[in-house]
Amino acid sequence: MINFTESEERRALRKAVADMARKYGHEYFTAKARAGEKTDELWAEAGKLGYLGVAVPEEYGGGGGGIGDLAAVCEELATAGCPLLLTVVSPAICATVIARFGTDEQKQRWLPGFADGTTKMGFAITEPDAGSNSHKLTTAIHRDGDEWVLNGGKYYISGVDEVEAVLVVARHVDATGQRLLPSLMIVPTNAPGFTYRHIPMEVLSPEKQFTCFFDDVRLPLDALVGTEDAGLAQLFAGLNPERIMAASFATGMARRALDLAAEYARTRTVWDTPIGAHQGLAHPLAQCAIQVELARLMTQKAAALYDAGEDRAAGEAANMAKYAAGEAVAAAVDQAIQVHGGNGLSSEYGLGAMLAASRLSRIAPVSREMILNYVAQHTLKLPRSY
Ligand SMILES: Cc1cc2nc3c(=O)[nH]c(=O)nc-3n(C[C@H](O)[C@H](O)[C@H](O)COP(=O)(O)OP(=O)(O)OC[C@H]3O[C@@H](n4cnc5c(N)ncnc54)[C@H](O)[C@@H]3O)c2cc1C
């Protein structure tokens, strides 16, 4: 039977996260971003209260929940004005992949830190010369005695300045020099040969983006998560949660934009009635509300499929949810700005600062065009154009 009501535990989790995040709020978040500071207090509190580790298995100190719970945490943080990019990466991709494919030693080493938020890990797949085409990834790993040697580079990698390690997607190179399937390597940010450079962005966020360079980075054999040849299955065990989280990040921001817009439309009076009485404003806002609700439902479906172990179905659902959420947040922020008139672009009302972040949801972690390609080919069985 399909149930459209979230469990009591999930609703209690949402409320607890929302109450905590509102103590910080949008002003705190943007002030930190403008000052070039981190939101360490917020991350630490969310970690201590178990919100960041809600999906980590209980035996490692986590909440034992699923990606649906973590997505609820991400959405409530964003709705409260604190959209934390690293929640999409560290607890969602990295902790999930290590919990599913790591050795006992790797789980002991990393999962307790993910459970209480004291460990943060980045994730690096995107490369300058490959972009959306993961078949063109060239970052390579080869074995040299008792070590791996990593060479290559990545760009637009979030939070490298504040994480302990980065989970890097690299392809093994065999003795003949041929590049094989991609696999996942844990690379400490202080490893010799790992350097990174900040990319200035117009997205107002305390979390920064970096270009990474790997020059003969030597890693112990247990840096490899999973097996050398499991390739894409392992990768997608992390990428599907990432898409579900990115969708929640987007619907959270969209909910915030709509809340602000509705409040403004109810109270601002220019002629004889509040501006929200004009259908020219009310109908687009109502359309946005429907779009956001559709995206939330799709995200919850994707999370439920993933948590039920249905990886294949979850892949399609996660892609679709991410697309729907990206469109919903772009429309909601745009309309919220319109409703606010000139105030929509003022610093005081905080909507202008959301513009670039809302557009990000159409680009990362996978662009809307690549999702449309996926749906055209896999859902509709249309021929591939590229
Ligand atoms: C703020 C931010 C944070 C990020 N964080 C991370 C991170 O932590 N880790 C990480 O690995 N990456 C990260 N990324 C990278 C992000 O995932 C990529 O930017 C995204 O996947 C697109 O890749 P690209 O920028 O190289 O664009 P390109 O691949 O160059 O694409 C450019 C445009 O062409 C379109 N396009 C390309 N191929 C096709 C095609 N076949 N059909 C139709 N259209 C096509 C794309 O949709 C896009 O619109 C981040 C990016 C941003 C902006």
pLDDT at 4: 83
Domain span at 357: 231-379
Which residue's alpha carbon is nearest to atom 38 within ligand 1? 132
Q: Is the CB of 158 under 6 A from ligand 1?
A: yes
Q: Ligand 1 centroid vs 281 CA: distance in angstroms?
A: 33
Cβ–Cβ under 8 Å, residues 82 and 39: yes
Return the amino acid letter for 22.
R
Taking the complete model, does pTM exceed 0.85, yes or no?
yes
152: domain CATH number is: 2.40.110.10
Q: Choose which residue among 90, 126, 212 to substitute to test ligand 1 binding: the one with the highest number of ligand atoms within 8 A of its C-beta.
A: 126
Which residue's alpha carbon is nearest to atom 25 within ligand 1? 131
330: domain CATH number is: 1.20.140.10
Question: Which of 71-75, 129-133, 187-191 bottoms out in mean pLDDT, i.e. has the lowest?
Answer: 129-133
Q: What is the mean pLDDT of residues 87-109?
A: 96
pLDDT at 293: 98
| Exposure letters 322-353 (e unless 16+ CB within 10 A, then b) | bbbbbbbbbbbbbbbbebbeeebeeeebbbbb
The verdict on 148 and 130 lying in the same domain is yes
Determine, yes or no, domain membership for 385.
no
- Torsions phi, psi of 216, nearest 5? 50, 50
pLDDT at 230: 66
pLDDT at 296: 98
pLDDT class of 1 with cuts at 50, 70, 90:
low
Ligand 1 atom showing the smallest separation from residue 370 Cα:
47
Q: Ligand 1 centroid vs 87 CA: distance in angstroms?
A: 19
pLDDT at 174: 82
Determine, yes or no, domain membership for 104.
yes
The verdict on 246 and 204 lying in the same domain is no
pLDDT class of 173 with cuts at 50, 70, 90:
confident
State which of 119, 141, 167 marks the end of a domain: 119
Q: Choose which residue among 90, 138, 363 to substitute to test ligand 1 binding: the one with the highest number of ligand atoms within 8 A of its C-beta.
A: 363
pLDDT class of 240 with cuts at 50, 70, 90:
very high
The verdict on 217 and 236 lying in the same domain is no
The verdict on 259 and 192 lying in the same domain is no
Q: Is the CB of 183 under 6 A from ligand 1?
A: no
Q: Is the CB of 366 under 6 A from ligand 1?
A: yes
What are the pLDDT digits (tens) for 52-64? 999 999 999 999 9
Ligand 1 atom showing the smallest separation from residue 89 Cα:
8
Look at residue 316 and tell me whether its pLDDT is greater than 70: yes
Measured on CA atoms in the order 210, 215, 218, 222, is the torsion positive or negative? positive
Dihedral (Cα; 78, 44, 20, 7), 10-degree rounding: 70
State which of 225, 244, 267 marks the end of a domain: 225
The verdict on 247 and 362 lying in the same domain is yes
Q: Ligand 1 centroid vs 310 CA: distance in angstroms?
A: 26
The verdict on 236 and 354 lying in the same domain is yes
The verdict on 25 and 151 lying in the same domain is no
Q: Which carries the bigger pLDDT value, residue 308 or residue 233? A: 308
The verdict on 89 and 181 lying in the same domain is no
Q: What is the mean pLDDT of residues 132-148?
A: 93
What are the pLDDT digits (tens) for 247-278? 999 999 999 999 999 999 999 999 999 999 99
Q: What is the mean pLDDT of residues 23-42?
A: 97
The verdict on 142 and 101 lying in the same domain is no
The verdict on 34 and 58 lying in the same domain is yes
Q: Is the CB of 163 under 6 A from ligand 1?
A: no
Q: Is the CB of 196 under 6 A from ligand 1?
A: no
pLDDT at 177: 78
The verdict on 199 and 157 lying in the same domain is yes
Helix axis angle, 279-307 to 311-339, nearest 10°: 160
pLDDT at 5: 87
Direct distance between the N- and C-terminal alpha carbons of the chain, in angstroms, rounded to an integer = 40
Ligand 1 atom showing the smallest separation from residue 201 Cα:
1
Q: Choose which residue among 163, 367, 369, 372 to substitute to test ligand 1 binding: the one with the highest number of ligand atoms within 8 A of its C-beta.
A: 367
